[in-house]
């Protein structure tokens, strides 16, 4: 009886000091359609997300295109294609794509905060198929690529 199944720790964060980025995946198709999602967190000196941060974050993209930004704030009426977006609950989302093979470099900055960057690899479908064919991939598990 009484096995612990979860625990939680709540800490008060310090002042916002920087930005941290993460991606939903490190590789996208360079087909101009596939999207990569870049999550930006406003963090304190300990790397903890600052939940009340509303800093204006700017996205710069090389080797691809910034399709949209968002923050989840239902009151934010800024257009999705804008390259700047205020954080909401310390978070901002950038959505990118590329129409060619290569590296998509995403840099984020905000006044007074340490910026961050991340690389996403854009591949060609034939490269992905070739890599899959040389692995022990179960082809039944791959998404349909016939219409691509």
Its pTM stands at: 0.81
Helix (H) or strand (E) holding 67: strand 65-70
Residue pLDDT, tens place only, 98-134: 999 999 999 999 999 999 999 999 998 766 666 666 6
Residue pLDDT, tens place only, 67-99: 999 999 999 999 999 999 999 999 999 999 999
Tokens 């205020």, located at residue: 86
CATH architecture of 18-134: Sandwich (2.60)
- The rounded mean pLDDT for the chain is 90
Does residue 58 have a pLDDT over 50?
yes
Can you give the residue ranges of every domain in the chain? 18-134
Query: How distant is the alpha carbon of residue 56 from its chain centre?
Result: 16
């Amino acid at each position: 009886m009484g096995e612990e199944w979860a625990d939680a720790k709540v800490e008060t964060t310090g002042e916002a000091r920087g930005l941290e980025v993460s991606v939903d995946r490190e590789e996208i198709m360079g087909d101009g359609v596939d999207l990569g999602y870049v999550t930006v967190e406003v963090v304190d000196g300990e790397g903890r997300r600052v939940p009340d941060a509303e800093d204006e974050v700017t996205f710069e993209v090389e080797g691809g295109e910034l399709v949209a930004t968002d923050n989840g704030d239902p009151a934010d009426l800024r257009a999705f294609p804008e390259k700047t977006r205020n954080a909401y609950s310390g978070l901002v989302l950038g959505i990118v794509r590329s129409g060619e093979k290569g590296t998509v470099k995403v840099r984020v900055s905000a006044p007074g905060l340490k910026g961050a960057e991340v690389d996403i690899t854009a591949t060609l479908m034939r490269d992905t198929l070739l890599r899959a064919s040389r692995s022990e991939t179960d082809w039944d598990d791959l998404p349909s690529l016939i219409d691509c």
